[in-house]
Amino acid sequence: MIEYIVVSIVSFLISFFSIPRVKKIFEKYWIVGIDQHKKDKRIIASSGGIVVSLSFTFSLLIFVGIKSFVLGSIENALVIFSTMVSILIATLIGFIDDVLTSRKSIITKAKEKDIRLGLPQWLKPLLTLPAALPLMVLNIGDPTVNLPFFGNVNFGIFYPVLIVPLVFVFSSNVVNMLAGFNGMEAGMAIVYLSFLSYVAFISNSIAFPIFFISLFSLIPFFIYNFYPAKILPGDSLTYFLGSIIVVGAVAGNIEKAAVFVFLPFLIEFFLKLRSKFKASSLGILKNNYLKSRYKKIYSLTHLIMKIGKFNEKQITIIFIFIETFSVLLYFIFK
C-alpha cells in the first residue's frame, strides 16, 4: 500500500507546482482561452489538462518503478503501459485542438457568442479512434461485461474490435460536451474518479492505480480552475478524463460502474443531438446570473439556467452534486 501513498503525493505535488509555471508559459505563447462567463471576457491560459496528463503519466511510471525495483513485481505492466499510451494519444488530440482554438480566439474575444475554431467536430471522433488501438491489439479487458439490468453479457470477439473502440471514441468526446464553467469538468471528475477508485479497490482491480493517480493529479488543477479560474482545462483535460474512464473500466472489468458515471453525459449527448451538436452549453451573463441563450433545452446547463437564477459558481456546484447523485445510484442498482 505504501506505493499508492507515494505516487499520490508525488502526482499531487507535480501537478500543484507545475500549473502556475505552465500557465505563464502558455500565456506567453498564447495558448489561451476566453473565460466566457466573465464581464471582461478575460483571456487566460488554457489546456491545463496537459499538466494533469503529464503528472499522471510520470506518477504512473514511478508506480511501475516501485513495483519493479522495490517490490520485485512487474505484474500487469503491459496493461498499464497500453492504457497509458491510449490516454496520452487522446490528450494529445485535445491539446492540438486547444492550440488551434486559442490562436483564433484572441481575435474575436469581444464577441458574445461561443466560438468554436479548433478541429472540425466531425474530425475529432475519427482522430480519437487510434487512441483505442493499444487496448484493441493487446485484447485488454474481459469480453464478459456486467451491465445494469442485463447482467453478464459475453460480447466475444466483438468486445476488443468493436465495443472498445466505439466506447473509447464516445467517452473521450462526450465528456467534452458538458463543460465550459469554472471548475465543472474537474469537480465532476473528482467525484467519479473517487467513486471509480473505490470500486476498483474493493474489486482488487488493476484499474485502481489508474483512477487513484489520475485523481490526485487532478485535485490541484481543480484548485486553480475553480471560480474564478486562473487556468482553463481545454479539450486536453476533457479528452484525458474521457479516456481515463474507459481504459480503467475496460482494463479493470468494471464497466457497470462506468455506466453510472456516464449518466449525466448520456443525457447531455441526447440533448445536444436535438441541436445536431450545434448548440453550446454556455450561458449569457446578465445581472451577474447566467441565462440560457436558447428557447429550447439543448443541454443540462440550459435546464438549470431555466429553473432559476444561478451564477457560474453555483452551476458548477449543482453539477458536482448531479454527478454525485449519479454515481450513488450504482449502490442502489448494483
Banded model confidence at residue 103, pLDDT cuts 50, 70, 90: low
Q: Would you state the pLDDT for residue 300?
A: 96
Which of 99-108, 155-164, 167-176, 212-221 is predicted most confidently?
A: 212-221
In a domain, 44, yes or no: yes
Instruction: Considering only residues 104 and 33, tell me which one the structure prediction assigns the higher pLDDT.
Output: 33
Domain that holds residue 263: 2-121+140-333
- Percent of the chain beyond pLDDT 90? 57
Instruction: Considering only residues 110 and 119, tell me which one the structure prediction assigns the higher pLDDT.
Output: 119
Give the three-class secondary structure for 284: strand
Q: What angle do CA 271, 316, 175 make, to 5 degrees?
A: 45
Give the C-alpha separation, 108 to 11, whole Å. Answer: 36
Banded model confidence at residue 106, pLDDT cuts 50, 70, 90: low
- Percent of the chain beyond pLDDT 70? 94
Q: Which residues pair with 283 in a beta bridge?
A: 292
Q: Would you state the pLDDT for residue 119?
A: 67
pLDDT tens digit string along 251-310?
A: 888 999 999 999 999 999 999 999 988 898 999 998 889 999 899 999 999 999 999 899
Rounded to 5 degrees, what are φ and ψ at 289?
-120, 160
Give the three-class secondary structure for 280: coil
Asked if pLDDT for residue 110 goes beyond 50, the answer is no
Q: Would you state the pLDDT for residue 104?
A: 54
In a domain, 132, yes or no: no
Mean confidence (pLDDT) of the chain: 88
Q: Any idea of the CA torsion for 68, 73, 75, 77, to the nearest 10 degrees? A: 0
Q: Would you state the pLDDT for residue 142?
A: 81
When pLDDT is averaged across residues 1-25 and rounded to a whole number, the result is 92
Place of cell 460480447: 155
Give the C-alpha separation, 287 to 305, whole Å. Answer: 13
Helix (H) or strand (E) holding 145: strand 144-147
In a domain, 127, yes or no: no
Banded model confidence at residue 136, pLDDT cuts 50, 70, 90: confident
Place of cell 482494463: 251
When pLDDT is averaged across residues 147-172 and rounded to a whole number, the result is 85
Q: Would you state the pLDDT for residue 85?
A: 92
- How many structural domains does the chain have? 1
Q: Would you state the pLDDT for residue 130?
A: 86
Asked if pLDDT for residue 329 goes beyond 80, the answer is yes
In a domain, 128, yes or no: no
Q: Which of 18, 22, 43 is nearest to 32 (CA)?
A: 43
Contact criterion met (CB below 8 Å) for 167 and 242: no
pLDDT tens digit string along 178-191?
A: 999 999 999 999 99
pTM of the model: 0.91
Measure CA of the first residue to CA of the last residue in the chain; give whole Å: 27
Asked if pLDDT for residue 135 goes beyond 90, the answer is no
DSSP character string of 112-143: SS----SS-TTHHHHHHGGGGHHHHHTT-S-S
In a domain, 48, yes or no: yes
Asked if pLDDT for residue 112 goes beyond 60, the answer is no
Asked if pLDDT for residue 114 goes beyond 60, the answer is no
Q: Would you state the pLDDT for residue 73?
A: 74
Q: Say which amino acid occupies 25.
A: I
Q: Would you state the pLDDT for residue 102?
A: 61
- Residue 306 C-alpha cell reads as 431555466
Q: Say which amino acid occupies 306.
A: K
When pLDDT is averaged across residues 192-203 and rounded to a whole number, the result is 96
pLDDT tens digit string along 220-246?
A: 999 999 999 999 999 999 999 999 999
In a domain, 295, yes or no: yes
Q: Would you state the pLDDT for residue 137?
A: 82
When pLDDT is averaged across residues 85-113 and rounded to a whole number, the result is 73
When pLDDT is averaged across residues 54-82 and rounded to a whole number, the result is 86
Give the C-alpha separation, 198 to 260, whole Å. Answer: 14
